[in-house]
Structure 1
Amino acid sequence: MIAVIDYNAGNIRSVLYALERIGVEHVLTSDHDVIRAADKVIFPGVGAAESTMKHLNETGLTELIRSLKQPVFGICVGMQLLCSHSEEGDVPCIGVFPERVKRFRPVNGDKVPHMGWNNVKLSANNNWVSKEVDNDFCYYVHSYYVETGADTVATTEYCGVEYAAMLQKDNFYAAQFHPEKSAAVGEQIIRDFLAVDN
């Protein structure tokens, strides 16, 4: 069973539809016991870091997510909230990844938020995403990005900045883009996550 964390964030339905297309049993839940007992956990969403972290802290989900031992996949804001700190609201985040979240500073007419298709360049330390994903394009919607660091397993570039497209550390996996909106390549990335065993 895949638990999709329901934490008052937007755009979760698209993740549920993607799991339905793949044919994976899943549940949308904020129940701590259900999340803890799941085989794998997906932490998706769209929203503001400050208000979302307030909700996570008030409901105990921050500590729960940090303590999970099964594979966890953070998507978009889910990835950013797994990091140490966000410039959005100057807020401490869950802290699974030590990387920090920063705001894009537009250059050369680049628009913020970044909306559209950008590549995913796999790093040498990637050991969970299929090699055919390398340099393929996925769909991004975000105004903030995660700086690169030791946990970066894929990068991309926007506003003249190379940043983390994907992170992985221990049992935590994350993507800045929306795999559920990224056609066949996104479905492959979701399947790659569902196949991990740690």
Structure 2
Amino acid sequence: MKIVIINYGAGNIQSIKFAIQRLGFDAILSDNISEIEQADKVIFPGVGEASSAMRKLKATGLNTIIPKLTQPVLGICLGMQLMCNYSEEGSTSGLGIFNAEVVKFDKKLKVPQIGWNQIKNLSTNLFKGIKENEYMYLVHSYYVPLNKNAIATTEYGIEYASALQKDNFYGVQFHPEKSSISGEKIIKNFLELSHENYTRN
């Protein structure tokens, strides 16, 4: 299986690669469009600020390629947010895969949210074998409000979408590569996804 982690200068990609290796797989770090298109699974990470990350995507043409991918794609943290229509962070237009906007947490809350929090209302095979209210590791100041593509939710001052799915595209706000055994189980579930199990449970 060919696994490609998109390397566009805005992701903590080594920790994701190491998590995949612990599962017995290998992953390629690449910004090569042909290599990404030929992958069996694509991981789209993201750490940092939305507008600068989007500029990096546009510089390599990845902003037009990612929405057209037909294999399973997993966006992580900022990667998931960039898959939405728009982010308030830097007034950034996203990739438009998920029909949602990314907004900032209320100023009354401590931001960024850093640390462990629970995920619930789990659906799809991405969460196969994961218990309701399992803890995942999060670091973010912006969030995706609840919407029809939500496949997991988390509460931090408000209940929000901590995972999304539409067709072959998946996104998680938390960092599965930093979320211990349960996080690695989610990565494993993603790597085992096939066209037959895109549909929601």
- Asked if these proteins are the same fold (TM beyond 0.5), I'd say yes
Cα displacement string for residues 61-119 of structure 1 (whole angstroms, at most 9, x for unaligned residues):
01110110000000000000001100000110001001110011143xx4200000000
Q: Is the 8 A contact 2:150 2:164 kept in 1?
A: yes
Corresponding position of 2:199: none
Corresponding position of 2:79: 78
Corresponding position of 1:118: 117
Residue-pair matches, total: 194
Q: Match for 2:70: what amino acid?
A: K
Return the alpha-carbon distance in structure 2 between the equivalents of residues 20 and 67 of structure 1: 27
* TM-score calculated relative to the size of structure 2: 0.93
Q: In angstroms, what is the RMSD of aligned CA positions?
A: 1.1
Corresponding position of 1:157: 155
* TM-score calculated relative to the size of structure 1: 0.94
Return the alpha-carbon distance in structure 2 between the equivalents of residues 104 and 96 of structure 1: 22
Q: Is the 8 A contact 2:74 2:170 kept in 1?
A: yes
Return the alpha-carbon distance in structure 2 between the equivalents of residues 128 and 58 of structure 1: 31
Q: Does 1:41 align with 2:42?
A: yes
SS in 2 for 1:73: strand
Percent identity between the two aligned chains? 49
Q: Does 1:175 align with 2:176?
A: no
Return the alpha-carbon distance in structure 2 between the equivalents of residues 10 and 55 of structure 1: 11
Structure 1 unaligned spans of 5+: none
Corresponding position of 1:22: 23
Corresponding position of 1:146: 144
Structure 2 unaligned spans of 5+: 196-201
Q: Is the 8 A contact 1:126 1:154 kept in 2?
A: no
Return the alpha-carbon distance in structure 2 between the equivalents of residues 57 and 10 of structure 1: 16
Corresponding position of 1:187: 184
Q: Match for 1:144: what amino acid?
A: Y
